[in-house]
Amino acid sequence: MTLDNINRAAVDRIIRVDHAGEYGANRIYAGQMAVLGRTSVGPVIQKMWDQEKEHLKKFSELMVAFRVRPTVLMPFWNVVGFALGAGTALLGREGAMACTVAVEESIAHHYNNQIRTLMDEDPEKYKELLQVIKKFRDEELEHHDIGLEHDAELAPAYAVLKKAIQAGCSAAIYLSERF
């Protein structure tokens, strides 16, 4: 992929929002680890966080390669992500896992939309970016399943919590694509 044969607006939007999302995910896991890091679920959260660190690293590299500016909302996502992670972890292991399920389900849906967009435009032109997004989507779905395996659905008010977190994810995606 070169800079001169791409839909610049679409690629900028995709890389900016995905970078912001992976940054937010890192902050969520940091908050969860601050509360639950020394519990039995700590290693599970750490493993997912380690994958998110790799995702963030890749999107940081893509931002430089394609000269994409980060969202101006990074300081906000820093605080909100950590607060969401720590806040849900204070509900216990189930609360942290409910957060993971909600966020990862939202992100997988978001990545699928991006995959469709790039496939409709030109799958060969966006081959590298599609490979990255597909790989990360699959890893996000693994995190979703891990959350379910670790009793996410037993969190207090699970359905309400999940819907509220997903509404926040939708707002974050919308805002980070644009600002």
143 assigned ligand-binding residue: yes
150 assigned ligand-binding residue: no
104 assigned ligand-binding residue: yes
22 assigned ligand-binding residue: yes
128 assigned ligand-binding residue: no
55 assigned ligand-binding residue: yes
Report the b/e string of 118-139 with b at 16+ CB within 10 A. Answer: beeeeeeebeebbebbeebbeb
Distance (Å, whole) CA 134 – CA 71: 22
Residue 48's H or E segment, with its range, is: helix 42-65
**Which amino acids are annotated as binding site for Fe cation, given as ranges?**
22, 52, 55, 104, 140, 143
**Which amino acids are annotated as binding site, given as ranges?**
22, 52, 55, 104, 140, 143
